[in-house]
Amino acid sequence: MSNPYSTAPEQTSGLSRRIRRTTNEVRDDRINQNKLSIYESQEKKRAKKIQIDQSVVLWSWLIGVGIAFIASAIVSFNGINAVAVFVGLSQSWMSSLFFFFIEIMYLLFLVAYLILASRVDNDGKPEKTSGALLGMIAFGGIAVLANAFHTLDFWGWIWVEPRMWAGVILSIAAPIAIISASKMASRVVFAKAIKP
């Protein structure tokens, strides 16, 4: 038995569906435009912001890392030069060669790491940087150990002397900071390898 109060579903033509859809689209566009104008008016009221990711900032950061590297090298020179005397070289001036050898090797491994990190191999994968990173850490580690040994020797290996430990921390901080800053430079300043 049919229900006398029920009404048949209203038949809609394709034209009325298109009109309804167009009306909804117009309403949605109006809402989006309204939101956009509210956002723009809020942005006009804000204080101007500095875009940090610019070349001048990146170059400044890179120059800062370079200055820190030179300062670290000057600090490390004393430690490496003093420890190199223990090798028993025939001439005392030769101990300076150890400093240049260690620092230049560190610098060469750093440049190799940065170059490899920006390249892709024949298969389109980023080049492996583990060898260059390992060399960089190894020569940085030698500088750390030489600086620590020099400070310990300077204080006569008095283990309870707090000034000795303060000196050790400062002397090893310089090479460790350069290793960290160099690794960060590969992420912040230099372009990464892009897969084709």
The token duo for 48 is 């101007």
- From the CB of residue 75, how many other CB atoms can be counted at a distance below 10 Å? 18
- Residue 141: count of CB within 10 angstroms of its CB: 15
pLDDT at 195: 55
Q: pLDDT tens for residues 81-125?
A: 888 888 888 888 888 888 888 888 888 898 888 888 888 878 878
pLDDT for the residue numbered 79 = 85
Which tokens in the block code for residue 184? 């960060």
69 vs 118: CA distance, rounded Å: 22
pLDDT tens per residue across span 61-74 = 888 888 888 888 88
Residues 6-36 pLDDT 10s: 555 555 555 565 666 677 777 778 887 877 7
